[in-house]
Homo-oligomer: A and B are copies of this chain.
Amino acid sequence: MSCPQAIADALSPLPSWQEGAIKTTIIDFVTDVTDPNNVNFVDPDDRIAVFDNDGTLWSEKPCYFQESFILHRQGSYANCFPEELGQETAPLTKEELIFTDTQLNYGITTDQYIQEANGFLNTANHPDFHRPYVELTFQPMVEFLQYLRDNGFQVYICSGGGIDFIRSFAEEAYGIPPQNVIGSAILSKFEIQEGNPVLVRVPLPVLPINNNAGKPVGLERYLGKRPIMAVGNSTGDLQMLQYTDDGQGQDLMMLVHHDDPNREYQYDEGAEDALQEAAQRGWSVISMKDDFIKVFAWE
């Protein structure tokens, strides 16, 4: 990065966000809760922001990327391509996805699973974008995460996706370390294999699946306190947003709206109830078309 560019970025946070109401909402909120002289000041221990992953931090079409990984593990990655997927089978729901992964990827250590997933995400090409999946993170959201950390926030992922699947790439892609990832988990058991202490995946999910009403359960189990910011994109995030919007103190609830058919995808399916409640309760709706200067880093 050139020096003038570095200075410009430092002066203007969130460079891939259009100036406008949404960017102002984010900056005003962060400014409020980090100013010790502001009545809305929040101590760093409580300055917790949670983000959904699929559809919020990266794409989720034509199917969840974890489904692509499952197809790869089954040796049928070709089925991932939309002309076949669209004609033959509907994409898996989050619950189907977790049960399928749980039944498929067991008996190996967590480290082995993570290595497999990381390798897949860095090498297999996405059927529409023809790029590795790790390149399909939303650049404005990556900046958002960094901006929050720069302001003393603890930033967590709270995803319906598999916790180990997300841990396999989240630190590299988002700067979010494994201990800040909450997701659907598989049971595991402790073993010492040839002197190495490891955890082996057992084909049973930890309940509940970390989606819909399971998200606040996961937040409480991992955090023991309510976030002050929650960002999602679908009805699977609705209860997480309701839980955050508890009427105590300053909160920010946001939905990423997929309304950009040219640069990404356009769809409301699976988000209808969340969008409706956002309108009723005044949650912020981020338009990918209007609020993102760029969607992907490589544009």
Where the two chains meet, the residues of A that have a C-beta atom closer than 8 Å to any C-beta of B are 45, 48, 110, 154, 163-164, 167, 171, 177-179, 181, 185, 187-190, 192, 195-197, 199, 206-208, 213-214, 216-217, 220-225, 239, 242-243, 245-247
Contacts and interface: CB of A to CB of B under 8 A. Distances in A.
Contact of A185 (B177, B196, B214, B221): B221
8 contacts: A110-B220, A154-B179, A163-B224, A179-B223, A190-B213, A195-B247, A199-B216, A206-B206
Contacts of A213: 189-190
A192 B242 contact: yes
A245 B197 CA distance: 8
Contacts of A48: 179
A140 B216 CA distance: 36
A57 to B, nearest CB: 17
A133 to B, nearest CB: 20
A167 B224 contact: yes
Given A177-B45, A197-B242, A243-B197, A190 B217 contact: yes
A45 B163 CA distance: 18
Contacts of A178: 223-225
Given A45-B177, A222-B222, A188 B206 contact: no
The 5 closest A-B pairs by CB, nearest first: A178-B224, A190-B213, A190-B216, A179-B223, A197-B243
A268 B168 CA distance: 41
Given A178-B224, A206-B206, A224-B167, A243 B190 contact: yes
A78 to B, nearest CB: 32
B181 A206 contact: no
A194 B283 CA distance: 20
Contacts of A214: 190
Given A48-B179, A179-B48, A220 B199 contact: yes
B224 A207 contact: no
A246 B189 contact: no
A186 B167 CA distance: 25
A28 B187 CA distance: 37
A208 B243 CA distance: 27
Nearest to A241: B197
Given A45-B177, A179-B223, A187-B217, 4 more contacts: A179-B224, A187-B207, A187-B208, A206-B221
Contact of A225 (B179, B217, B221): B179
B167 A188 contact: no
A217 B189 contact: yes
B239 A216 contact: no
